Amino acid sequence: MSPLLDNAIQSIRIGVEDYQANDPARALSAIRNLHAGLLLLAKVVLVQLVPNADEDALIGAEYKPVPDGEGGLTYVRRSLRTIDLAGIGERFKDFGIAVDQATLVKLSRLRNDVEHRYTEEAPDAVRQTVAGAFPLAAQMFQRVDIDPVEKLSGAWKTMLEIREVYEQELRACRETFEGVEWRYAIVGQAPRECPKCRSELLEQMDPENREQECADSTCRSCGARVDAGMLVENAIAAHYSAAEFLDFKHGGDGVVFDCPECGLHTYVVDTEPEDTSSELVGCVVCEHRIEGRCARCEDHLTPSNLGADHPDFCDYCEHMLFKGL
């Protein structure tokens, strides 16, 4: 067994043991270990895919071009930092490996939230981490042709049990929203999260309600009340978290913006979705849509470039035309 794989298995096993201790003081340790184990396992997948490559180069995060001494260029690592869980999805994509990028980003964000804003809700965050990590770990073990039952024994059985119970609760919560007539299908399909503890165990206060604007909910994990507007905001943020991560990483403006009409962070500009039939431009709450191009430069107008006082122009052209007034 390679040291990388051995470390991955040990981290996952210790993370599950931390969870089983049922001690709030070990909740953060559980999330750290499960996160580290999944990341190490993902790196094992990459290493086994190209076994003749330099392992350090394969999992490095930053590179810079330098002269190779022969009139050309070569790339060397900028630092010793390796790819993180949120970024490994892009590396997988480059290597032709299918992976649930949204779940990777979510688990990474969950770990960061608990790391920097540790609260009493952390034990449930562990349960959600285990539930989310299980299918990803199963997929990665399969990629490297390793039986997780053999390597993790009791820890794998515990992960399966946690996921089954969590999924049962999650289904019950989601059923309370089944009658809601969402203005856009994507809102109903997006994961709903509690803004306080990040749990997906949100249930509609009135399961008989059918109107999106009245879909107020409560969190089974921490008891927080979430109004309908915030519910949609968080759902859209969760749905586009991976797309926003990649867009920002490549210098973009993002995918979700504040709507200039209703003020909610629910204006989506998704013109290049993986599924072209799901292209979306507009606010998923009030259905406001910015039409047309800048009257001066003819760039498409979006919430990120719309002129503050002259909506027929982009913000740059507005500044250039009216800066002296």
With pLDDT > 70 as the criterion, what percentage of the chain qualifies? 94
> Is the per-residue pLDDT at 229 higher than 80?
yes
Is residue 79 classed exposed, middle or buried when 0-12, 13-18 and 19+ CB atoms within 10 A define those classes?
Answer: exposed
pLDDT digits (tens, 9 = 90+) for 77-99: 777 778 887 778 888 888 888 88
Which pLDDT score is estimated for 131? 79
231 falls in which pLDDT band (50, 70, 90)? very high
Is residue 42 classed exposed, middle or buried when 0-12, 13-18 and 19+ CB atoms within 10 A define those classes?
Answer: buried
Residue entry with tokens 């978290």: 241
Give one DSSP letter per residue of 130-190, joined into a string: HHHHHHHHHHHHHHTT--HHHHHTHHHHHHHHHHHHHHHHHHHHHHTTTT-B-SSHHHHHS
One-letter identity of residue 262 = C
Phi/psi of residue 252, nearest 5 degrees: -80, 175
If you average pLDDT over residues 61-73, what whole number do you get? Answer: 82
Report the C-alpha gap between 38 and 40 in whole angstroms: 5
Report the C-alpha gap between 272 and 161 in whole angstroms: 38
Provide the phi-psi class of 17: left if phi over 0, else alpha when psi is between -120 and 50, else beta: alpha
Which pLDDT score is estimated for 324? 59
> Is the per-residue pLDDT at 117 higher than 70?
no
20-24, 41-45, 146-150: which has the minimum mean pLDDT? Answer: 20-24
Which pLDDT score is estimated for 276? 46
Report whether 127 contacts 110 (CB < 8 A): no
Which pLDDT score is estimated for 225? 95
Which pLDDT score is estimated for 196? 83
Which pLDDT score is estimated for 122? 56
Please list the residues that pair with 73 across neighbouring strands: 67
If you average pLDDT over residues 297-309, what whole number do you get? Answer: 89
If you average pLDDT over residues 267-288, what whole number do you get? Answer: 76
316 falls in which pLDDT band (50, 70, 90)? very high
Question: Element (H or E) spanning 270, and its range?
Answer: strand 267-270
Give one DSSP letter per residue of 69-106, joined into a string: SSSSEEEEESSS-B--HHHHHHHHHHTT----HHHHHH
> Is the per-residue pLDDT at 190 higher than 70?
yes
If you average pLDDT over residues 261-278, what whole number do you get? Answer: 76
Question: Element (H or E) spanning 256, and its range?
Answer: strand 256-257
> Is the per-residue pLDDT at 309 higher than 60?
yes
With pLDDT > 90 as the criterion, what percentage of the chain qualifies? 31
If you average pLDDT over residues 285-296, what whole number do you get? Answer: 91
Report the C-alpha gap between 257 and 248 in whole angstroms: 13
Residue that wins the pLDDT comparison between 102 and 257 = 257
The domain locations on the chain are: 3-54+84-175, 252-322
If you average pLDDT over residues 167-174, what whole number do you get? Answer: 92
> Is the per-residue pLDDT at 283 higher than 80?
yes
Mean pLDDT taken over the chain: 85
In 3D, which of 34, 14, 217, 20 has the Cα closest to residue 110?
34
If you average pLDDT over residues 294-304, what whole number do you get? Answer: 90
